[in-house]
Amino acid sequence: MKRSLALPLAWIGTLSLIGCTLGPNYRRPDPPSGSAAPLPSARPAAESTDAPPEQWWRLYEDPALDALIQKAFEANSDLREAEANLAAGRAMLEGARAGLYPSTEMQASGERSRDATADEILNLTGRRSQTLWLYDAGLDASYEVDLFGRVRRSIEASKADAESVEAARDTVKIEVAAETARAYAEICAVGEQIDVARHSLEVAGKQLDIATRQRGAGAGTDFEVVRQQNLVSQVKATLPPLEGQRRAALAQLAVLIGKTPAEAPVEVLACVQPPQLKSLIPIGDGTELLKRRPDVREADRHLAAATARIGVAKAELYPQIRLEGFYGGTTLGAAPHPTQIASGNGLIWGLGPSISWSFPNMALPKAKLHQADANQAAAVANFNSVVLGALQETEQALAKYGAELDRRQALGEAQDEAGRAFKLAQGQLEAGAVSPLDLLTSENTLVSADSAVASSESALVQDQIAVFKALGGGWEPQKIEVSQK
């Protein structure tokens, strides 16, 4: 038996050694011209060319923000889903790798029955019909000789698919980090705006008291009183939307860290100043940006998988050769034992090659090859689109951030001027040159300037977070540990 197997095994081994891998080998497309240069919207006064840190939120030096993002990484539902998708992708890769080894199937059965054919045989031999036991067992094995690389290209495609799912998981992590920082920053910024609005309401209330007293003393008019009452109402009207905005941001934050709104971390409502950077934003350059962003990596892996599947489709144009074998047997009798299967005349076995080929009708495999080519072309276009989109998103984020910086500077100058005007009014009031109402009007102007600055600071931190998100940082430092509860 060993000598009879030697020739086919040697033949199959030789074919495996001389086999080839069809289809193009993957090569990542070159990045767009100019992408390696510094980002056009970068401003040396606001951004540095240093590479951004992996945990960019730590630049704010805010322990509460650090803790919230860590909680989000541990419990966010979107991250749980992304991790589950990644596990499924890796399982598919393991399934593809199984093609490197023989496939086996074992089956066994035993039944007690009456069989018409067996009864006829017994009657012809002069024996009466009877109920018999039938045992049947066998082992089938099959191994594909990967002459044209169908199995190898399939594994390559599955590996790229798994890596694309991993990149998608990293994109989700970036989203979670950015949205958690956004929600926290909004809570703090709106808290600051509420404080400014309350101060403005206090000033408007004082102005109303002064107008009311002046009217009672005959030095004022009903018009002044009504005007101040209207101002008080307008300032009061600004508070409910701000409170609602802060509560909405708190509910969003709760969901991001895996909590219900009822379990929201209400302690963050004590924050009344948005987080502020202690240094310039490090943004790096275009080349590092494209290497860092996981959506670019995901598109690259989709393209790699599409390229590998061209090889799979090409291999199906050629014969598939398999080495197949079986071993088993059957025993029949009134009271046989299953161990009798491996002995006697019921034993069967076999080993040899088989070939399958869609020939001469090649329409279906050729159609699959055309489909694979089209899928690769689509993947190339998608890769280019994602790369350009990444550069566009970063440029837009930097442009908005720069514009808000200019606005914040102008508002700061207006705030300083309002502060100087208020101090001058205080001095003139002591000298009797202006009335108390003039002083309160000056103070109201200062409060309005404070409100505008607070609103700008809120927009500024949101724009900063948008820049960090566009830069693609936040997924690198550690594997996401997701609770399985």
Bridge-based pairing state of the strands 132-145 and 320-333: antiparallel
- Could you tell me which residues come within 8 angstroms of residue 15 by beta carbon, excluding any fewer than 6 positions away? 145, 147, 321
220-277 per-position pLDDT tens digit: 788 878 888 888 898 899 999 999 999 999 999 999 999 999 999 999 999 999 999 8
Question: Among 4-13, 191-200, 268-277, 424-433, which stretch is predicted with the lowest mean pLDDT?
Answer: 4-13
pLDDT at 10 over 70: no
320-343 per-position pLDDT tens digit: 999 999 888 777 666 566 666 666
Give pTM, 2 decimals.
Answer: 0.83
pLDDT at 17 over 50: no
The Cα 456–Cα 463 span in angstroms is 10
Mean pLDDT for all residues in the chain:
86
pLDDT at 125: 67
Q: In the structure, what pLDDT confidence band is assigned to residue 483 with cuts at 50, 70 and 90?
A: very low
Structural domains in the chain, CATH included, are 2-471 (1.20.1600.10)
pLDDT at 440: 77
The mean per-residue pLDDT over the stretch 438-448 comes to 83
Q: In the structure, what pLDDT confidence band is assigned to residue 215 with cuts at 50, 70 and 90?
A: confident
CB contact at 8 A, 225 and 212? yes
Q: How far is CA 151 from CA 158, 168, 191, 359, 371, in A?
A: 11, 26, 60, 20, 19
Quick one: 245 exposed, middle or buried, by C-beta within 10 A (0-12, 13-18, 19+)? middle
353-362 per-position pLDDT tens digit: 999 998 899 9
